[in-house]
A and B are shown apart, each in its own frame.
Chain A
C-alpha cells in the first residue's frame, strides 16, 4: 500500500505544482485584477460550508420531522434533485453577462424546461411515495391479521 500511496502522491504533487505555476503565470501579470479570481476560488468552499451545507442539513431535518416515513425518502430525493437541477439551470436563466444570443445556442426556454423537468421529478416522487405508503399500510394490516389468528 505504501508504494501505491507514493505512486499516487508524487505525480499528484507534481501536477499540483505545475498548476500552481500556471496559475501564478496568469495571476501575477494580471494583478490586481486577478484578486477577483482568488476570491472566486476561496469563496466557493466558504459558500458551501456556510450556506449550502447548513441549509441542506436543516431542510433534511425538517423533512424528517414533517414527512411520514413511507414518503420521507422519495420527498428528500425529490428535494435534492430539485436543488441540483435549479443549480444547473441557473446560468441559463440568469444572463446579464451572457454572450450575444446565437442561433441554436441557448435559444430554448430554460425556465419552462426546468418547470417541466421538475414536474416529472415530483410526479415520480408522488408515485413512489404512494406505492410505499400503500405497501406499508398493507404490511401493517397483514401483520394485524396474523396476530389475530
Chain B
C-alpha cells in the first residue's frame, strides 16, 4: 500500500497563492498591527508614565478612540492573518527545506513573526472576554511579545520589499485562470470576513453598532446603565464602602482634612459627561456629578494642578493606589463623583465616591476612594 504523500508547492493552484494576493492582504495586516502596536504602547505609557511622557486631559474621547481602535484593529487582524498565512501556505512545502544560511534565517524569522502575531491576537481575544487559560500576568507578556511582533513585521517587510513592489506594479495585469477560488474571489472573501468580524464585535465601543454586534463582550445591562469590570464583592470592599462612618481623608502639605459624606455634598457640585473607556476596548458615555478636583483641592488647602495619589478601599490588586497627574487635577471636568446618570453611585461603581477624569484609562478611574495625598 502506498502512503499518501504530502502536497508539493506547485500543487497549490488557487488564486489565493501568489505574491499579488499575499502583498494585498499583507499590507492591510501590517496596517492593523501598526495601529494595534501604537495604541497599545500609548495605553502602556499612560499607565506606566516615564518622566518625559505627558498625556492631555483633552479631548475627552481620545483615549476611548485609541483603545477602541486597538481592539477593532486586533479583531480585523485575525481573519487577515489567517488569510495571509493561507496565501503563503504552499511555501511550507517548498523543497529543499533550507537552501542557504540567509534562507534559513528568513524561515526562522517568519516562524518568530507568525508565533508572536498569533500570540498577540489569541491572548488579546481571550483577554477582552476575560477568559484566562494561562498562568502569566497578561499585560506584561502581551506587552513584551508586542515588541517582538512589530519588530519581526518590520524586518519581514524589509526582506520582502522587492517582492511587494513587484506585486503592486503588476496591478493591471490580467488574472491567470485559477483552479477553485480566483485571486479576486479570495481577496473579496478576506475583506468580507474582516468586515463581518469587525461588525460582529465593534459595538463594544462604537455606540451605533451596539445592537448589531452580537459577539460584543459588553452589554447595556450594567448597573446604572454602565458596565462594571470589578464588582464591590470582587474587590472585597462591600463592608468598608457601605460603612456609615466612612470619611474621605485628604492629606496636603498644609495638613490633613477629613470629609464626611455630608461635607462632600455641601461642596459645589459639578456635572460632566465623560466616557469610561477600558483598555479591553469597551467604552461608554455617562453623566457624572460630584466635586471637581480644582474645587476639592482648594477646599483641602491645596491648589489645582498638583499630582494626587489616590488610594482605594480596595486593598489588593494592581490598581488599588493610582496617581492622578496635575494635568488632570487642574481640569474642572475631573471629578470625585458621587452620582452616576442621575442616581447615587452604585456600590459596584465605587460608592461612596470615585475618580472620573477625562481621557484616562478605565483602570485608573479609581473606585471606592478612601484617601487623597498631595506631596
Partners in one complex: yes
A-B contact count (CB 8 A): 240
**Which residues of the partner chain A approach B240 to less than 8 Å between Cβ atoms?**
none
Are B219's CB and A105's CB within 8 A?
yes
Least CB distance from A114 to B in Å reads 6
B132 on interface, CB distance cutoff 8 Å: yes
Interface residues of B (CB under 8 A from A): 12, 14, 75, 78-79, 82, 85-86, 89, 92, 111-112, 114-116, 118-119, 122-123, 125-126, 128-136, 140-141, 143-159, 161-162, 165, 179-181, 185, 188-190, 192-193, 196-197, 200-201, 214-223, 226-231, 233-234, 282, 348
Are A88's CB and B215's CB within 8 A?
yes
Measured between alpha carbons, how far is A107 from B129 in the docked complex, in Å?
A: 11
Are B231's CB and A37's CB within 8 A?
no
The chain B residue with its CB closest to the CB of A34 is B136
Measured between alpha carbons, how far is A1 from B161 in the docked complex, in Å?
A: 8
The chain A residue with its CB closest to the CB of B110 is A45
- Given the known inter-chain contacts A4-B161, A8-B155, please indicate yes or no for A26 contacting B231, CB distance below 8 A: no
- Residue from A14, A26, A37, A76 in contact with B151 in the complex, judged by beta carbons closer than 8 Å: A14
Are B185's CB and A117's CB within 8 A?
no
6 new A-B contacts, CB < 8 A, other than A49-B85, A100-B231, are: A12-B158, A14-B151, A20-B148, A80-B190, A102-B230, A116-B214
A66 on interface, CB distance cutoff 8 Å: no
Interface residues of A in 33-82 (CB under 8 A from B): 33-34, 36-37, 40-42, 44-45, 48-49, 52-53, 56-57, 60-61, 64, 72-73, 76-77, 80-81
A113 on interface, CB distance cutoff 8 Å: yes
**Which residues of the partner chain A approach B162 to less than 8 Å between Cβ atoms?**
1
Least CB distance from B12 to A in Å reads 8
Measured between alpha carbons, how far is A37 from B197 in the docked complex, in Å?
A: 27
Are A91's CB and B125's CB within 8 A?
yes
Are A8's CB and B154's CB within 8 A?
yes
Flag A95-137 by CB within 8 Å of B: 1 or 0 each.
1011110111111101011101100010000000000000000
